């Protein structure tokens, strides 16, 4: 296992909701307007303390993307995905960026996010798979 990063800025850290491993800084959020099958998702410029899965093509509401799932190094839980490439020209800004699913992380204030069951049934903006 690689080196574990600990982010020390009080009140500005997103953490794994299972094991509280630090994943990202509030300052690294690019957008809070993403949605996944389980509700809200946030787009980040960078995250730490993750491992990545296999590349796969995934059809999302915004088109076809090549992505890898990302996992917490502390407990192995899937916490989101990374955009490797976007096939639509308008989606290229996502390449190299990370999605953290809000219900899988603790917010900077330590809060949990409850799963929106309507979102699970109806699909999403970001992920149609």
pLDDT tens readout for residues 29-45: 999 988 877 789 999 99
Domain range enclosing 101: 13-106
pLDDT-based confidence at residue 116 (cuts at 50, 70, 90): very low
Averaged pLDDT score across all residues of the chain: 83
User: Which whole number is the average pLDDT over 6-32?
Assistant: 84
pLDDT-based confidence at residue 77 (cuts at 50, 70, 90): very high
Residue 48 inside a domain? The answer is: yes
Residue 65 inside a domain? The answer is: yes
What distance in Å separates the CA atoms of residue 86 and residue 126, rounded to the nearest whole number? 12
pLDDT-based confidence at residue 120 (cuts at 50, 70, 90): very low
Residue 5 inside a domain? The answer is: no
CB burial readout 61-84, b (16+ within 10 A) else e: ebeebebbbbbbbbeeeebbbbbb
Q: How many separate domains does the chain show?
A: 1
Residue 87 inside a domain? The answer is: yes
CATH number at residue 72: 2.170.150.20
Residue 115 inside a domain? The answer is: no
Residue 17 inside a domain? The answer is: yes
């Amino acid at each position: 296992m690689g080196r574990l990063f600990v982010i020390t800025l009080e009140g500005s850290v997103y953490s794994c909701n299972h094991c509280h491993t630090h994943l990202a800084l509030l300052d690294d959020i690019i957008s809070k307007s993403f949605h996944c099958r389980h509700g809200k998702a946030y787009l980040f410029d960078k995250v730490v303390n993750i491992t990545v899965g296999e590349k796969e093509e995934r059809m999302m509401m915004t088109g076809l993307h090549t992505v890898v799932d990302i996992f917490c190094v502390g407990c192995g839980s899937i916490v989101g995905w990374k955009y490797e490439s976007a096939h639509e020209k308008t989606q290229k800004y996502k390449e190299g960026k990370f999605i953290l699913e809000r219900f899988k992380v603790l917010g900077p204030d330590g809060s949990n996010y409850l799963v929106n069951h309507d979102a699970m049934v109806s699909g999403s903006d970001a992920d149609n798979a």
